[in-house]
A and B are shown apart, each in its own frame.
Chain A
Amino acid sequence: MHRLPKAILTVFAAFTCLANTTGRAQARQPWTVDNTPEPAVIRVAIRSENPSGEADPRGRIMYVQTVPFIQYCEDVLPNEWMPSWHIEALKAGAMAVKMFAWYHHLHPITIDGFTFDVDNTVNFQTFRYLSRQPDTNRAILAIRPYAYVKPDGEIVELNYRAGIRDDPNWQYRNAQKMAQWGSQYWAERGRNWLQILQFYYVDRILRQYRVR
């Protein structure tokens, strides 16, 4: 006699729990620049290197390194953009690198038992510890209090690709990705970093936030 009501109660409880979870997920506010502080640190999965010494995008994850967030950006930018490029191209790149990392810090993943935000290869962004350069550091410092986000402030991934040299790379504008060579192309023609970002990322705005 007691078994049937107990089973019904269990199913009911399960449904209630599921409904609550779904409701919470729907009700959860998106991560915006208003309700989310800039990360203090980021977890970087270090993958094994191929015999040439280059970090292998399909290599085994050896360990996860926790790096101060801005130091991570400083150690990525010279490996993604050329330090000799125009300072406005470097600033545009600094913003893309920072927002990409910020987004992935909010969306960590677990692979092979390692939970991390990004890895050190082109799967995410090329990271080499202590590879920062004076010129790229200046670019990161210049855009430090700004975020490039959706109009409602939501933090989104600013993605990018190499693109084609000496070309405006219009095709990347339609894909919401910045062309790295394109950023240099426009910077050499007098556009500033914000104009470069506006060219490639449509429907995004610049917001200022409080730096810790």
Chain B
Amino acid sequence: MPPFSLWCPILAVTAALVVVQPPAPSPGQTPMPVHPHTAQGGANAGTARGTTPNVATPGQAAADRPLPDRFGTGRPFSPYVPWPTSRLRVRVIDGRTLEPLPGAEVVLIETEQRLTTGPDGFTPWFDAPVIRNPRYRPMVAELHGQLGVIAYKNGYRDSIHLGIRMHEGIPTETTVWMYKIGPQDRRIEPVLYQEPYHHIWLVELADKFRSRTQPGEGPERP
């Protein structure tokens, strides 16, 4: 039996190896961000309330962790599962005369689908994915997905149209303006139009993180 003075360092080293805890941030040091999938009140706070929290243990492989239900569809998110799709058609018009532009080529950026507008300026209806920005956790998930298209037509500036609002299960239309290249145009570059976020979502987003000490405009009142 070794003496007590020999046991003490052995026990101390063993305890240090078994109990592994992240160090607490010192004052002035920014704490490490908590992974949204593992944070309480994070990924599954809205949908899996009352169930076992989705907390990964150290050493557990990322692939073994249950994936969160990102879109409230009842299915866990997986990059290998096809995105939900919805019907979309794009109308291309002349930005000055507002007349439809037939024969313009429209490319859906996310899927590289290529379509051509008909005599009425519309592309045929086609299936397009509903992609929500993965930066946002499900609790602040966008109320609509977003897509981008580029329209090309000879004699016109290229038009890039981003932020097309897509919703599951309902058809969507969008209009792309194109501008004719004139003799005065020397530096010819694409034209960008960015659809703004829906303001219903912006109101909801701002309210989610409002603090009591700095309420800003405060919650909406009647």
- Chain A: residues with CB nearer than 8 A to chain B? 52-54, 78-84, 122, 126, 128, 130-135, 161-163, 165, 171-172, 174-175, 177, 180-181
Q: Is B167's CB under 8 angstroms from A163's CB? A: no
Point out the residues of chain B lying under 8 angstroms from A78, CB to CB. Answer: 165
Taking the closest CB of chain B, its distance from the CB of A122, in whole angstroms, is 6
Taking the closest CB of chain A, its distance from the CB of B32, in whole angstroms, is 31
A52 and B175 in contact, given A82-B144, A84-B168 (Cβ under 8 angstroms): no
A177 and B222 in contact, given A52-B196, A84-B144 (Cβ under 8 angstroms): yes
Instruction: Please tell me which one of the listed residues A128, A130, A131, A180 contacts residue B200 in the complex, with CB atoms under 8 A apart.
Output: A180
- 0 or 1 for each of B180-222: is its CB under 8 Å from A? (1 = yes): 0000000000000111101110011000000000000000111
Taking the closest CB of chain A, its distance from the CB of B122, in whole angstroms, is 12
Q: Is A82's CB under 8 angstroms from B169's CB? A: no
Taking the closest CB of chain B, its distance from the CB of A66, in whole angstroms, is 14
- 0 or 1 for each of B138-170: is its CB under 8 Å from A? (1 = yes): 000001100000000000000000000101111
Q: Is B170's CB under 8 angstroms from A135's CB? A: yes
| Interface residue tally on B, bucketed by range | 20 to 34
Q: Is A84's CB under 8 angstroms from B170's CB? A: yes
Point out the residues of chain A lying under 8 angstroms from B169, CB to CB. Answer: 84
Q: Is B199's CB under 8 angstroms from A161's CB? A: no
A174 and B222 in contact, given A82-B144, A122-B199 (Cβ under 8 angstroms): yes
Point out the residues of chain A lying under 8 angstroms from B199, CB to CB. Answer: 79-80, 122, 126, 162
